[in-house]
Amino acid sequence: MIRIPNIPDDVRARHAGKAWPVSMAGAALLIIGSFLSWCYDDRVLGDLSIRGNPGGLQILAIILGVLTVVFLLVERGPLYRLRDWADAALAVRALGLWSLIYMVLVLIAITIEAGGLVNVNEGGWISTLGALLIFVGSRFLPQRELKNLATARLSPYAEIAIISLSMAAILFGAAYALSREDAWEFVLFLVFATGLVVGLVRSGFTTFFGHIATRNKKVLTLAAFAVAFFFPFTQQGSDANMSIATQVLIFAATAMGLNIVVGLAGLLDLGYIAFLGAGAYVAAILSGSAFATVDLTPPFWLVVIIGAVVSSCLGLIIGSPTLRVSGDYLAIVTLAFGEIFRLAMFNLDGNNGPDLTNGPNGIPGIPDLQIGNFNFGDTHTVLGVPLGRFSNYYFLLLVLIGFIILVFSRLNNSRIGRGWVAIREDERAAEAMGVNVFGLKLLAFAGGAFLAGMAGTVKAHQDGAVSPDQYIFLESAFLLAAIVLGGMGTIAGVLIGATILKLLPEKLRFFNEYRLLLFGLTLVLMMRFRPEGLVASQRRALEFHEEDEELAELIQSEHLEDVR
Amino acid sequence: MTLTSEERTTPTESDGQPLLEARGVIMRFGGLVAVNNVDLTVNQGEIVGLIGPNGAGKTTFFNCLTGMYKPTEGSVRLAGADLPPKPRAVVTAGMARTFQNIRLFGNMTALENVMVGRYCRTSAGALTSVLRGPKFRREEQATRERAQELLDFVGLGKSTELLARNMPYGDQRRLEVARALATDPKLILLDEPTAGMNPQETRQASDLIFKIRDNGLAVVVIEHDMRFIFNLCDRVLCLVRGETLVEGTPEQVQSDPRVIEAYIGEPESEEEEAQG
């Protein structure tokens, strides 16, 4: 990774006195500049030209500035009581770096969009100077010894409040990001968000948040679902973002199912998308579409069960001969199975076998779901907010994903989950201790297929059509990438990974051509620097760093603290 | 504290049947005969030692008993029933083992390691685990309590929440014993339980083995440490080049010139050192 060289200690000591005032002045300039005009042209980047009325991008800069001020006040000032806990120096350093990157990118964006650097007004220069001052000043801030954050305690209500506020911030941020139409604004928001997250990570806030999250798991889950539930209400009936959101949820639900296979049981499945496809085809065939080949329309709950059972039967058929052999063979067989599924769907058109799938044409015209009197195609107005077709499916998928998470976490924390960990650790020892290795692997495989089948039945109705080319190997690879990127065996990680992998290409159309290149590169970098994923499960982190004694000691002490 | 759980019927000694009976076990790897026609009988509450120089086939014989290998010829019977050559079936039948080179689940806590040992004596399936009914809770609670009990039994009661890989070497050995005991065995096989231990730890290990025996279990021990094994065992079997050289009480084996020769060797082959 690129590292900015540290200032030698003697130089730092000589200038330590100036570091704080310089950083503070920088933060002030960053904020003041944001209240002035950044850009002469009011048609670009959401109008940054009005003095005294900051536009969207300027508000982001103000947030960075205010956060810097807060951490500086922790370092020296009224917030001194946080001194022993928060690593203010590192946080300000990260914020300074990212503010500078942000401001430089803003200047570049103005240059490109408005046609020349000459369009940058005084505010833009002042804010950039401010960011530069923070960046330089913060590098001279002294570092201190900190207390172990695992021992930090707040009142339970304060902890719950922190969780709720963080979740609300995430909801607000997601809604804001999705409403950015302009690619530059979106990219700049991503830079801002990265800077914010890095700053919070450096300060130790995320570590602390992790501890209170483990103490208040229920609150966290509830808050997360509340946030997800309220998301459609922030969209004012616009379908554009809700369509993306439902895509993300389907992808996330499938990835969570695969996470049981990959993350918990440690099996490499490269054809998982076939199980989603099996569920989707079952739903399509039984949907009563004009193109459906079977004239049967059972109620939807029955279709879900049939789809899931068909999927898990396929899983059993593939799994029972291959799960007895070691990992690599399974990967190859599942890879082949994914292709076989696609080709079978391609060829079951009446020429080469029974007419089940209409071959390459697929089954279009799948009607919207109708549960009772509730038609998923209609727009319903709740609390004055119109909720369209995609919102309806969004809520259904939310229920599904909740169910999958429930299955995931409960299996993980049970006799079965312990068996899976034991298998991942040492398969032969597990067998010799009486763990049913084959049975547990098969359970993970078939169970994962079951959940994917469920998700598939919803996907068929939501897409309105199924065709073989939706279920290609690349989709399986992306599912796997979401898990690896997010963090194997974690819930939050995989949800984040799935969101990133599905959302970015939707929002950044221009980088669509380089999508595979960039994802490949990201995964290579992840494997090198953080193999356990963005959100690491402690157990996985340990498994990936067998030699790292320090990490083991650290996780040990945190675990002891959590148990207490 | 008892090691035999109440629901399991322990074979009574009155029926006179040996707990473990291996007859004519032969294990060939291609042309190599690693174990040649070895008999072993273990009665309930007995500690049997298995000694022999390196490469004598002790561990191979262990693997034949525990189903890791399928013996080429011969039969292994536990409490009167033939043992299938599958490790899991062997554990379910009531024979557990430890490993020569410790094979704990390093990234699990001590308690979790022992709880994995309870796997074959518990039954919560996928549906039960997801629904979390009262039966699940009761079983989970019982598993946890039993695992803690076993940790207390081997003297690791205070290390419950430590990661196995962070524990000191001697504790890891004891944790392996606790994990094996969690499977409710009638017979426990210990593969070099004192390897790499200092004299004090070795003494603790033999105390622990006596304690296990006193709870009605039979124990088979592979060991190199002669003083340890002659103090501990009721009967000792000496294997050399895959064959039984001598079997008898510790005194008989200790004084047998062939055993001394096997260990010290004749003048031209001095690869082994006697440790007794």
Contact A421 B108 (CB under 8 A): yes
Q: Is residue B191 part of a domain?
A: yes
Same domain for B119 and B62, yes or no, is no
What is the pTM (predicted TM-score) of this model? 0.84
Residue type, A477: A
Contact B108 A416 (CB under 8 A): no
Largest CA distance in chain A: 84
Contact B139 A563 (CB under 8 A): no
Q: Is residue B3 part of a domain?
A: no
Token pair in block for residue A233: 């209400």
A96 neighbors A30 (Cβ within 8 angstroms): no
Same domain for B207 and B268, yes or no, is yes
Same domain for B201 and B155, yes or no, is no
Contact A425 B109 (CB under 8 A): no
Contact A415 B179 (CB under 8 A): no
Name which of B88, B113, B132 to mutate to probe chain A: the one with the most chain A Cβ atoms within 10 A of its Cβ.
Answer: B88
Chain A residues in contact with B106 by the CB 8 A cut-off are 425, 542, 546
Which of B109, B129, B163 lies nearest to residue A415, judging by beta carbons? Answer: B129
Q: Is residue B2 part of a domain?
A: no
Q: Is residue B43 part of a domain?
A: yes
Q: Is residue B4 part of a domain?
A: no
Q: Is residue B10 part of a domain?
A: no
Same domain for B198 and B255, yes or no, is yes
Residue B167: domain span: 103-184
Largest CA distance in chain B: 69
Closest C-alpha among A29, A23, A46, A22 to residue A124: A29
Closest C-alpha among A250, A260, A247 to residue A449: A260
ipTM, interface predicted TM-score of the complex: 0.86
Sign of CA dihedral A411, A415, A420, A424: positive
Chain A residues in contact with B132 by the CB 8 A cut-off are 410
Which of B112, B126, B179 lies nearest to residue A411, judging by beta carbons? Answer: B126
Chain A residues in contact with B103 by the CB 8 A cut-off are 426, 428-429, 432
Residue type, A269: D
The span from the CA of A231 to the CA of A224, in Å, is: 11
Place of tokens 């801002």: A192
Q: Which residues are registered as beta bridge partners of B246?
A: B238
Last residue of a domain, one of B119, B149, B184: B184
A203 neighbors A90 (Cβ within 8 angstroms): yes
Q: CATH number, domain at B214?
A: 3.40.50.300
Place of tokens 């007895």: A324
Supply the DSSP symbol for B56.
S
Chain B residues in contact with A435 by the CB 8 A cut-off are 88, 116, 119-120
Same domain for B26 and B155, yes or no, is no
Closest C-alpha among A345, A344, A334, A341 to residue A480: A334
Contact A552 B124 (CB under 8 A): no
Contact B106 A418 (CB under 8 A): no
Same domain for B25 and B157, yes or no, is no
Chain B residues in contact with A405 by the CB 8 A cut-off are none
Contact B143 A433 (CB under 8 A): no
Dihedral of the alpha carbons of A503, A509, A514, A517, in degrees to the nearest 10: 0
**How far apart, in Å, are the Cα atoms of A505 and each of A113, A437, A518, B59?**
22, 39, 11, 57
Same domain for B84 and B208, yes or no, is yes
Nearest CA-CA distance, residue B162 and chain A, Å: 7
Name which of A324, A408, A415 to mutate to probe chain B: the one with the most chain B Cβ atoms within 10 A of its Cβ.
Answer: A415
Contact residues for A3 (Cβ-Cβ < 8 A; gap 6+): none
Q: What is the pLDDT of residues B170-224, one digit of tens each?
A: 899 999 999 999 999 999 999 988 888 888 888 889 899 999 999 889 999 998 8
Q: What is the pLDDT of residues B68-110, one digit of tens each?
A: 888 888 888 888 888 888 888 889 889 999 988 889 998 899 9
**How far apart, in Å, are the Cα atoms of B125 and each of A420, A432, A437, A512?**
13, 20, 14, 44
Same domain for B195 and B271, yes or no, is yes
Which of A415, A422, A553 lies nearest to residue B105, judging by beta carbons? Answer: A422
Name which of B102, B119, B140 to mutate to probe chain A: the one with the most chain A Cβ atoms within 10 A of its Cβ.
Answer: B119
Shortest CA distance from B66: residue in chain A: A432
The span from the CA of B260 to the CA of B276, in Å, is: 10
Q: Where along chain A do its domains lie?
A: 9-231, 235-374+395-563
Chain A residues in contact with B165 by the CB 8 A cut-off are 542, 552
The answer on pLDDT for B275 being more than 60 is: no
Supply the DSSP symbol for A172.
H
The answer on pLDDT for B121 being more than 70 is: yes
B56 neighbors B237 (Cβ within 8 angstroms): no
Last residue of a domain, one of B163, B184, B205: B184
* Count of beta carbons in the 10 Å neighbourhood of residue A404: 25
Chain length of chain B? 276
Which of A434, A437, A546 lies nearest to residue B92, judging by beta carbons? Answer: A434
The span from the CA of A308 to the CA of A258, in Å, is: 14
Chain B positions contacting chain A at CB under 8 Å are 66, 68, 87-88, 91-92, 96-97, 99, 103-109, 112, 115-122, 124-126, 129-130, 132, 136, 139-140, 143, 161-163, 165-166, 179-180, 183
- Cα angle value B93/B96/B98 (rounded, 5°): 165
Q: Is residue B176 part of a domain?
A: yes
Name which of A312, A433, A450 to mutate to probe chain B: the one with the most chain B Cβ atoms within 10 A of its Cβ.
Answer: A433
Last residue of a domain, one of B158, B184, B210: B184
Chain A residues in contact with B183 by the CB 8 A cut-off are 433-434
Contact B120 A434 (CB under 8 A): yes
Same domain for B116 and B179, yes or no, is yes
Token pair in block for residue B161: 């929440």
Chain B residues in contact with A489 by the CB 8 A cut-off are none
Closest C-alpha among A21, A28, A23 to residue A127: A28
Tally of domains in chain B:
2
Given this model, what pLDDT does residue A71 score? 86
A181 neighbors A99 (Cβ within 8 angstroms): no
Name which of B86, B107, B113, B143 to mutate to probe chain A: the one with the most chain A Cβ atoms within 10 A of its Cβ.
Answer: B107
Range A235-374+395-563 has CATH code 1.10.3470 = yes
B213 neighbors B219 (Cβ within 8 angstroms): yes
- pLDDT tens string, chain A, 564 residues long: the values are 445 667 777 777 777 778 888 888 888 888 888 888 888 877 777 777 778 778 788 888 888 999 888 888 888 877 777 777 778 888 888 888 899 989 888 888 888 888 888 788 888 888 889 889 888 888 888 777 777 776 777 777 888 888 888 888 888 888 888 777 777 888 888 889 889 988 888 888 888 888 888 778 888 888 888 888 888 888 776 788 888 889 899 999 999 999 999 989 888 889 899 999 999 999 998 888 777 777 788 888 999 999 999 999 999 998 888 887 766 788 888 899 999 999 888 888 877 778 778 888 888 888 888 887 787 877 777 777 778 888 889 999 999 999 999 999 999 989 999 999 999 888 889 988 989 999 999 999 999 999 999 999 999 999 888 888 888 898 898 899 899 888 888 888 899 889 888 887 777 776 667 777 877 888 888 888 888 888 877 777 888 887 777 788 878 777 777 776
Which of B105, B109, B124 lies nearest to residue A414, judging by beta carbons? Answer: B124
Q: Is residue B6 part of a domain?
A: no
Same domain for B275 and B146, yes or no, is no
Same domain for B114 and B144, yes or no, is yes
Strand B243-248 relative to strand A380-382: parallel, antiparallel, unpaired?
Answer: unpaired
Which of B68, B119, B130 lies nearest to residue A419, judging by beta carbons? Answer: B119
Same domain for B254 and B147, yes or no, is no
Number of Cβ pairs < 8 A linking chain A and chain B: 117
Shortest CA distance from B176: residue in chain A: A433
Closest C-alpha among A288, A297, A243, A276 to residue A463: A243
